[in-house]
Amino acid sequence: MPWNSLMDRMMKEQHSQGTTVEDIAAVLKRTPIHLQIIEAIKSAHALGCDLKIVSDANTFFIDTILEHHGLQECFSEINTNPGFVDEQGRLRIFPHHDFTKSSHGCDHPSCPPNMCKGIVIEKIQASLSMEDQKKTIIYLGDGLGDFCPSLKLGDGDYVMPRKDFPVWDLICKNRSLIKAQIYEWSDGEEFKSVLLRLISRIISIDGNNTNANIGQLYSVDCKLNTMALPATSGHEAFPQALPVLH
């Protein structure tokens, strides 16, 4: 059973036991997100990046968390499974693609039947190709479903897999298939440092706005005090991209 179908069944069970939508929202608001990740999102938005979400979560979860952290205005587009409260007050979660009627068309084993993020990325790329200026995509992810969209990125794009998570393992085993430059991250501090330096590099090279495509929001168990990003000139102290064979 796909994850979102299981979540819909779990929400039904929770509702039958008296759990309200407000109870669910309260738990979501307590979900810890590294302060550096929140700062990185706000900074990327302030720098002119067009941030988008491609997630196998659902609209209710994502909207609740973004609103709680004041991040809703940072994202121009959210691609995920629909989630809404029905007339009985129960949270319903439906698939992004109705796999009971047809396949989404991707047969990659890392893609669940309800959503292929690679197809979503292709649609975003098609939309970007209609614009006058070429946009660079920075894709961030950690799950199995983030491997397929990583395959869709071009030579001028970047992928930021979370180290020692499923997508990282797949990329390490299939580096020759990845055209984009690969920059890993392990925690919120490294997330912010790598992302903002990539954006700085793109701006300095192209002199144009970038299109930073956020593929997944993460919940982490640790919290760190706010840290300022060290100032750098050029590409000093910038992490080396992983070698990729083409």
Query: Is 244 a member of any domain?
Result: no
Query: Is 103 a member of any domain?
Result: no
Provide the pairing of β-strand 158-161 with 181-182: parallel
The range of the structural domain enclosing residue 189 comes to 3-96+111-214
The pLDDT assigned to 234 comes to: 37
Query: Is 28 a member of any domain?
Result: yes
**pLDDT of 246 strictly over 80:** no
Annotated binding site for Mg(2+): 142
For residues 92-111, give the mean pLDDT.
94
**pLDDT of 209 strictly over 70:** no
Annotated binding site: 142
**pLDDT of 217 strictly over 50:** no
The pLDDT assigned to 206 comes to: 67
pLDDT digits (tens, 9 = 90+) for 145-204: 999 999 999 999 999 999 999 999 999 999 999 999 999 999 999 999 999 999 999 888
**pLDDT of 213 strictly over 70:** no
Task: State the pLDDT confidence band at 135, using cuts at 50, 70 and 90.
Answer: confident
**118-135 burial string, b = 16+ CB within 10 Å, else e?**
bbbbeebbeebeeeeeeb
Q: How many domains does the chain have?
A: 1
**pLDDT of 214 strictly over 70:** no
Query: Is 230 a member of any domain?
Result: no
Query: Is 147 a member of any domain?
Result: yes
**pLDDT of 19 strictly over 90:** yes
| Dihedral angle computed from the Cα positions of residues 199, 204, 125 and 217, in that order, rounded to the nearest 10 degrees | 0
Query: Is 235 a member of any domain?
Result: no
**CATH at 150:** 3.40.50.1000
Chain CA centroid to CA 37, Å = 12
What are the helix (H) ranges across 30-91? 35-46, 59-68
Query: Is 134 a member of any domain?
Result: yes
**pLDDT of 208 strictly over 60:** no
pTM (2 d.p.) = 0.83
Query: Is 130 a member of any domain?
Result: yes
Residue 189, both tokens: 């501090």
